[in-house]
């Protein structure tokens, strides 16, 4: 969960497209452009708080009281590729650290500037000057604020700050895909993969950044791309976790990040990744073992939308069947009632009868659970 919320808090998210922050000629980050974009983003999100029509008075009170925003990113992997820096390496993490330090410090300095103009978020204002000073003092001594530059901490004591929270990293799955860049802070799953749609069809997706690189480098071999074109499944799970922890230092809320693990990854190995995330300061994390579910949204091949052998818990004969359906009458053919109610003939095997077993209407022959009252 990238945005832990208080009761009745609202989620006000936006994302900086880091792909646009790259100087493709010098293969460096345009930090000045990044700062200007963050400044604009924070002011925009703060204005959204006042422009929003709130349907519940509790939401309005909480939103206007804390003025929480969550500025995140998309296109981080694109930025690293443009800078010819491999994701998940020490070099890559050093660059990511500088990028997110810039985002965090710029966001907080901008919020302080807005506080000078419009005042602090109300929950940081006490009934007396002494109470306000005490609240500000407590604010700058939170775990996150202790790591911030001293000028920011001292300015909060003097002027307050406009927003209680400023940063988060949401998945940006739809928006990042729409813009044509890597989503959130994830590396590309692959530079050519299949995405499962709502209709069950597979859509082949090819990353634009590869063709862009080939256009700029006509002598390059498309089958042997440089090392900075690393993919999510190329990275060790530990590399995913370490990158998340580097970023977490500069994010005051939480982060949406998937640690991709290969097929066959054991429970103990998964546990070790979560321990690594915890020790590294991450507020949360997700470990996904490839092929661990019956179907998955992203696969390298269209026919891979099946469960790997090591994740099968039952044979085909042993798998429990769950069917939710209304009663079906085969009118004109038989007097037998085929349906999900007690006493009906099972609509799955057409042989057993439906009985109440353990609170569920269950077929006595094939074991299909047709209707549960739990």
pLDDT confidence bin for 19, thresholds 50/70/90: very high
pLDDT-based confidence at 341, cuts 50/70/90?
confident
- Give the pLDDT confidence score for residue 154 in this predicted structure: 98
Question: Which range among 182-191, 255-264, 298-307, 359-368 shows the weakest confidence by mean pLDDT?
Answer: 298-307
Q: In this structure, is the dihedral angle defined by the CA atoms of residues 173, 176, 182 and 183, taken in order, positive or negative?
A: negative
Q: What is the predicted pLDDT for the residue at 1? A: 59
Going by pLDDT thresholds of 50, 70 and 90, the confidence category of residue 366 is confident
Check pLDDT > 80 for residue 353: yes
Say what the pLDDT of residue 10 is: 92
What percent of the chain has pLDDT above 90? 68
Instruction: Share the mean pLDDT of the chain.
Output: 86
Instruction: Identify the CA nearest to 163 among candidates 104, 224, 89.
Output: 104
With bands split at pLDDT 50, 70 and 90, how would you rate the model's confidence at 309?
very low
pLDDT band at 197 (very low <50, low <70, confident <90, very high): low
The Cβ of residue 371 has, within 10 Å, a number of other Cβ atoms equal to: 20
Give the residue-averaged pLDDT of 8-28.
96
The lowest-confidence range among 9-23, 156-170, 179-193, 304-318 is 304-318
Q: Is the pLDDT of residue 181 over 80?
A: yes
Among 196, 374, 148, CA closest to 293: 196
* 267-279 residue pLDDT tens: 999 999 999 999 9
Query: Tens digits of per-residue pLDDT, 86-117?
Result: 999 999 999 999 999 999 999 999 999 999 99
Does domain 1-185+233-255+262-285 correspond to CATH entry 3.40.1160.10? no
pLDDT in tens, 198-241: 655 566 666 889 989 999 999 999 889 999 999 999 999 999 99
Write out pLDDT tens, residues 279-297: 999 999 999 998 887 655 5
On the question of pLDDT at 307 being above 60, the answer is no
Q: Output the pLDDT for position 372.
A: 60
pLDDT of residue 315: 45
Residue ranges of domains in the chain: 1-185+233-255+262-285, 328-372
What confidence score (pLDDT) does residue 326 get? 41
């Amino acid at each position: 969960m990238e945005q832990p919320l208080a009761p009745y808090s609202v989620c006000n998210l936006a994302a900086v497209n880091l792909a646009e922050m790259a100087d493709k000629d010098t293969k460096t980050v345009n930090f000045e452009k990044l700062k200007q974009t963050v400044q604009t983003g924070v002011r925009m999100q703060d204005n959204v708080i006042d422009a929003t029509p709130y349907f519940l008075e509790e939401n309005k009170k909480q939103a206007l009281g804390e003025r929480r925003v969550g500025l995140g990113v998309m296109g981080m992997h694109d930025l690293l590729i443009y800078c010819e820096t491999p994701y998940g390496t020490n070099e890559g993490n050093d660059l990511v650290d500088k990028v997110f330090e810039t985002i965090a410090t710029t966001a907080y300095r901008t919020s302080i500037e807005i506080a000078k103009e419009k005042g602090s978020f109300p929950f940081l204002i006490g009934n007396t000057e002494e109470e306000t000073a005490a609240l500000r003092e407590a604010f700058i001594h939170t775990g996150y604020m202790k790591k911030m530059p001293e000028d920011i901490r001292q300015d909060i004591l003097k002027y307050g700050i406009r927003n209680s929270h400023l940063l988060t990293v949401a998945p940006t799955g739809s928006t990042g895909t729409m813009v044509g860049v890597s989503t959130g802070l994830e590396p590309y799953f692959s530079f050519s993969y299949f995405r499962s749609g709502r209709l069950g069809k597979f859509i082949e997706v090819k990353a634009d950044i590869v063709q862009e690189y080939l256009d700029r480098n006509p002598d390059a071999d498309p089958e042997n791309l440089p090392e900075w074109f690393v993919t999510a499944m190329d990275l060790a799970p530990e590399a995913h976790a370490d990158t998340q922890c580097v970023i977490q230092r500069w994010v005051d809320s939480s982060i949406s990040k998937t640690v991709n693990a290969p097929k066959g990854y054991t429970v103990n190995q998964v546990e070790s990744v979560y321990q690594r995330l915890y020790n590294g300061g991450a507020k949360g994390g997700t470990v996904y073992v490839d092929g661990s579910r019956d179907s998955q949204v992203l696969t390298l091949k269209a026919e891979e939308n099946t469960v790997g052998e090591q994740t099968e818990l039952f044979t085909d004969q042993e798998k429990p069947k769950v069917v939710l359906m209304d009663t079906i009458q085969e009118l004109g053919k038989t007097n037998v009632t085929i349906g999900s109610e007690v006493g009906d003939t099972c609509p799955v095997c057409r042989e057993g009868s439906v009985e109440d077993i353990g609170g569920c209407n269950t077929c006595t022959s094939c074991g299909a659970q047709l209707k549960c009252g739990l």
